[in-house]
Amino acid sequence: MTQNSLKRMFFKRRQVLRGVTGLSAALLASRLAGCATTTDSDATPTAGGETASSSEPIKLGLIAAITGPSAVSGESITRGLTIALEKINASGGVMGGRPLELVIRDDESTPAKGVAAARELIEQEKVALVFGGLDSPVSLAMLPVFHELEVPYMGVWAAATSITRNEFDPNFAFRVSANDNIVDSYLMRYAKQELGATKVGLVLINNPWGESNQAGFEEWAPKYDLDIVGIEKFNDGDTDISPQLGRLQEGGAEVLLMVANAAPSAVAMKSLLRLDWDVPVVSHWGPTGGRFPELAGEEAAARVVFMQTYSFFDAEGERSEALMSKLQEKYDVKGPEDVIAPVGTANAYDAMNLVALAIDTAESLDGPTLRDSFYDLPTYAGLIKTYEQSFSPGNHDALNEDDYILVQWKDNKLVPFQG
């Protein structure tokens, strides 16, 4: 057993944020700031990081954008995790009756803040696992912390390929979300087979997430007989990218493949309207995690087709109905059209249930033991799919291309794409 594993065997309970509800970003941030008070527990440490008390809560962390332009993503993830956690606890918890407890930290979409939060959650709050948020740069920056301290990471939104396909051995990063490399194949296949394109232009955010997708698009383009006529990058904070789009237009792009979050994507679409260029835009899911329709305008937002992993429209089954009922009860959601950033909620809901199964399978909170348990999970009939052998040593992504769908904004609501 490693030194870090031994450290996690002896810890005292600290009471933190519990029962997270649908708070506004500002109110949630305020309450998070007020959760610094801690108390000691009389529970006696035992082997494997558990305590002698069968009722001792098991802490799980969430590091996501709770405030800022991507706060919608953090709220949707929090909702999915919370509803699943409450269901698990109401059913008896894990490891023979221990409840789960969610400890939330706001990364503000900033890698440095994510890194600090990861270390604090593991070393001070003693969480057994950390869920990640929307931003790939944040998740990538945090990976060395998880591997140094040997605590599993579970991604529920960030899609950069190298989050799970990394160089760490053993690999502590898992994901119930999209993988850029698979998404890039999916988007290019759509451009080729459904839109009949032969030439595409790439519009990419200038950060590690954009780089991840550039690599994927360049890998898949020859396989779909697509010519990439240009690769244009832009930054958060840019107010006009007409020159970049103009070059793609001159290059003969028949479809634009866009990768960016809500605010920069809105800038791209406004610039496209200025050019009066009526070209199809097919996007990764970044804009669905923020205020894209508000920032881009309804006309521009409606022109974009996005990939997703789940839609609450036409969703059938007991779990879908139960989750929608809880969203209506806890967050005053009227119907599918009111579910904010649906993939955040759906991915997080399934991820929390898989993590609970992993804890029960491991019968331990020791990081390496918990990591290994993900390879031996029982079949789980989830919201997005039925998970059979969810993870393997060669594959830490639970979702694949068959689990993706297309959606679009219509009347400021995210609805299934009708073609």
Q: What is the pLDDT of residue 316?
A: 73
Looking at the structure, do residues 130 and 160 belong to the same domain, yes or no? yes
Question: Is the residue at 357 inside a domain?
Answer: yes
> What stretches of 242-317 show up as alpha helix (H) in DSSP?
242-250, 262-275, 292-296, 298-301
Per-residue pLDDT, 38:
32
pLDDT tens digits for range 98-140? 999 999 999 999 999 999 999 999 999 999 999 999 999 999 9
259 touches 158 (CB < 8 A)? no
The parent domain of residue 300 ranges over: 181-308
- To the nearest 10 degrees (0 to 180), the angle between helices 71-90 and 25-33 is 70
- Of 308, 325, 349, the last residue of a domain is 308
Interatomic CA distance for residues 184 and 70, integer angstroms:
22
DSSP-derived letter for residue 203 is: E
1 occurs within a structural domain: no
Residues 237 and 338 placed together within one structural domain of the fold: no
368 lies in the same domain as 353: yes
Indicate if the pLDDT at residue 49 is higher than 60: no
- Same structural domain, 329 and 391: yes
Is 415 a domain residue?
no
Shared domain for 156 and 217, answered yes or no, is no
Last residue of some domain: 245, 280, 308?
A: 308
Rounded Cα distance between 60 and 106, Å, is: 14
Mean pLDDT of the region 19-27: 34
| 301 within some domain | yes
pLDDT exceeds cutoff 90 at 41 = no
The answer, yes or no, to whether residue 367 has pLDDT greater than 70, is yes
Match 């399934």 to its residue by tokens.
Answer: 350
Summarize pLDDT for 323-349 with one digit per residue, the tens.
999 999 999 998 888 898 899 999 999
Same domain membership, residue 321 and residue 233: no
Q: In the prediction, which pLDDT does 53 show?
A: 57
**Mean pLDDT, residues 344-355 taken together:** 97
Segment 86-90 shows an average pLDDT of 97
Q: What is the average pLDDT across 13-34?
A: 34
pLDDT for residue 290:
75
pLDDT of residue 36: 32
- CA distances for 405 relative to 23, 133, 220, 306, 312, angstroms: 29, 20, 19, 8, 12
Mark 57-82 as b/e (b = at least 16 C-beta within 10 Å): bbbbbbbbbbbbbbbbbbbbbbbbbb
Total count of domains within the chain: 2
* Tokens 């001792």 sit on residue: 56
> How many other C-beta atoms can be found within 10 angstroms of the C-beta atom of residue 139?
33
Classify residue 408: in a domain, yes or no.
no
The CATH number for 289's domain is 3.40.50.2300
Strand order in the sheet with 153-155: 100-106, 58-64, 130-132, 153-155, 173-175
The answer to whether position 258 is within a domain reads yes
pLDDT per position as a tens digit, 284-299: 988 887 788 889 998 8
Q: Is the pLDDT of residue 40 over 60?
A: no
| Strand partners of residue 100 | 58
Decide if 342 contacts 311 (C-beta within 8 A). yes
Rounded-to-integer distance, Cα 25 and Cα 200, Å: 38
pLDDT in tens, 374-417: 999 999 999 999 999 999 999 999 999 999 999 998 887 788 89
279 plus 364 within the same structural domain: no
> Phi/psi at 203 (nearest 5 deg)?
-120, 105
Q: Is there a single domain that holds both residue 228 and residue 152? A: no
Q: Tell me the pLDDT tens digit for each residue of 236-255.
A: 999 999 999 999 999 999 99
Does residue 202 share a domain with residue 299?
yes
